[in-house]
Amino acid sequence: MMVLGELPYQLPEVRPAWTPRNASFPTPPSPQERGASILELLVIDDNEYDLLLTELAFQDIAQPCTLHIVHDGHAGLTFLRDASQPRPAAVLLDLHMPRMDGFTFLQHLREDPHLKSLPVFVMTASTADQDMPRVRQLDADAFLVKPVEPQLVFDLLRTPAER
């Protein structure tokens, strides 16, 4: 019978790998230095768990991506109207939030001449039948069920004419 912790042989001593004194290693190039563009997305959602899932999903992709996160529609409009903030390629929008919900955000966005052409992908866990017609009426570009797959977002951004 073998008892855990007792080995019939001696393990070799573990030593750090040899490195020359004062060695310097090159820093890997950033996405900008490699010529890869960084995709900027604005995520508007108040649910921390859903935000965590979204962040984790977008971390595991080859496309460099920056997610700008705000927690309600009012903060989303403030971000988009702030000239010092980057212009996102699209907005990932939850519908049911406090302060300003996704429906109201979408209405304000489509009424703004500077923002109305921005793609908006509604992402929601809602299965309410009345949500989809309202989202279509407010001219959302896509209706996605959470958790959102990053590849689907990229596909939607590549084919705007087919949305």
Asked if 100 and 127 touch (Cβ cutoff 8 Å), the reply is no
**What's the whole-number average pLDDT of the chain?**
79
Structural domains in the chain, CATH included, are 54-89+96-162 (3.40.50.2300)
pLDDT tens column, 123-141:
877 666 678 888 888 899 9
- Locate all alpha helices (DSSP H) within the chain, ordered by sequence: 48-59, 73-81, 102-111, 131-137, 150-158
Higher per-residue pLDDT: 98 or 158: 98
Tallying the residues shown for the chain, one arrives at 163
Mean pLDDT of 54-61: 84
